[in-house]
Amino acid sequence: MDYKKHYDFLMGKANNRELPKDVYSEKHHILPKCLGGNNNKENVVKLLPKEHYIAHLLLFRLHPNNQKLVFAFWMMCNGNRKKNRKYVVSGKIYEEIRTKFIEIVKQREPFFKGKQHTEESKQKNRIAHLGKSTWDGKIHSEESKKKMRESALGKKLSEETKNKMSQFWKGKPKSDETKNKMSESSKGDGNNYKRFLERTGLPHAKSKPVLQYSLDGEFIKEWVNGNIASKDLNLSYKSINGCLREKQKTSGGYIWKYK
């Protein structure tokens, strides 16, 4: 099909008529602005809703890789439909524009990539969000919490990020309520760090590798720490620890030393 011929015919038809004032119509740029068109009177026509839809369908077919024309037609098919727009989009055309729209969105560079907010912009954002909290009265679901935990596992903060966090919190006083919560979270079996280690199987940050020897001094195995060795061998951790601190010579029939 000669899409250009049909498009030119439609524009010519619109140019050579005058619609009554009580008939709903929509303005359309004959040469789209993204292709070099302007707002001059000669470049603007009034179209009926269905004609406007057909015009953008023809432009989409003529320029299938033009992002702005693809987006414009996608909005006509899927955007906010005015009550006067009573045309029906066929399933075949909808599938075609949807597939093309997704393809173009994937290729598009992120809008803010390589850009930075100005100090004025940052200040406006701070004022706009002052006192607002999008999570007021809301809580994460258990599924959401699980996903957040899994996504955070194994991630390490860079030294730069750690320094920024340190500077951010430096000198900021904590309320008594916050202090009490922190105190409770570090007590007994409710210790957050202890629960984290049990869940992940990771060693304590201050744990030291230990070496296991026979009574004859023959090397047997290296352990992540004494606590893990005591659990796997069903031995007393205090006894192994005493051996490591050289308060006793053996524990469980073995010699224990820090690596």
pLDDT digits (tens, 9 = 90+) for 164-180: 888 888 888 888 888 88
Give the alpha-carbon dihedral of 76, 83, 7, 69, to 10 degrees.
-20
Evaluate if residue 28 carries a pLDDT over 70. yes
Question: φ, ψ for residue 34 (rounded to 5)?
Answer: -70, -15
Query: In the prediction, which pLDDT does 86 show?
Result: 74
Last residue of a domain, one of 48, 81, 107: 107
Q: Is residue 128 part of a domain?
A: no
Could you tell me the CA-to-CA distances from 242 to 11, 82, 201 in Å, in that order?
93, 80, 24
Q: What is the reported pTM? A: 0.45
Evaluate if residue 216 carries a pLDDT over 80. yes
Q: What single letter denotes the amino acid at residue 60?
A: F
- What CA–CA distance (Å, rounded) separates 36 from 63? 14
Q: Is residue 61 part of a domain?
A: yes
Q: Which domain holds residue 226?
A: 210-258
Binning pLDDT at 50, 70 and 90, where does residue 76 land?
confident
Evaluate if residue 203 carries a pLDDT over 70. no
Q: Is residue 136 part of a domain?
A: no
Reading the block at residue 223, the tokens are 């352990």
| Helices marked H in 170-225 | 176-185, 192-200
Reading the block at residue 36, the tokens are 């070099």
3-state SS assignment for residue 219:
strand
Binning pLDDT at 50, 70 and 90, where does residue 63 land?
very high
Query: In the prediction, which pLDDT does 38 show?
Result: 93
Q: Is residue 160 part of a domain?
A: no
Q: Is residue 227 part of a domain?
A: yes
Average pLDDT of the residues of the chain: 84
Q: Is residue 138 part of a domain?
A: no
Give every strand in the sheet of 219-223, ordered side by side.
219-223, 210-213, 255-258
Evaluate if residue 257 carries a pLDDT over 70. yes
Query: In the prediction, which pLDDT does 192 show?
Result: 65
Last residue of a domain, one of 76, 107, 138: 107
Last residue of a domain, one of 80, 107, 134: 107
125-155 per-position pLDDT tens digit: 888 877 776 667 778 888 888 888 888 877 7
Q: Which of 102, 35, 44 is nearest to 63 (CA)?
A: 35
* Interhelix angle 91-107/49-62, nearest 10 degrees: 50
Q: Is residue 29 part of a domain?
A: yes
How many domains are there within the chain? 2
Q: Is residue 175 part of a domain?
A: no
Q: Which helix (H) or strand (E) holds 29?
A: strand 26-29
| Selection from 63-77, 113-127, 128-142 with the highest mean pLDDT | 63-77
Binning pLDDT at 50, 70 and 90, where does residue 36 land?
very high
Reading the block at residue 5, the tokens are 């011929």
Here the CATH number for the domain that contains residue 224 is 1.10.10.10
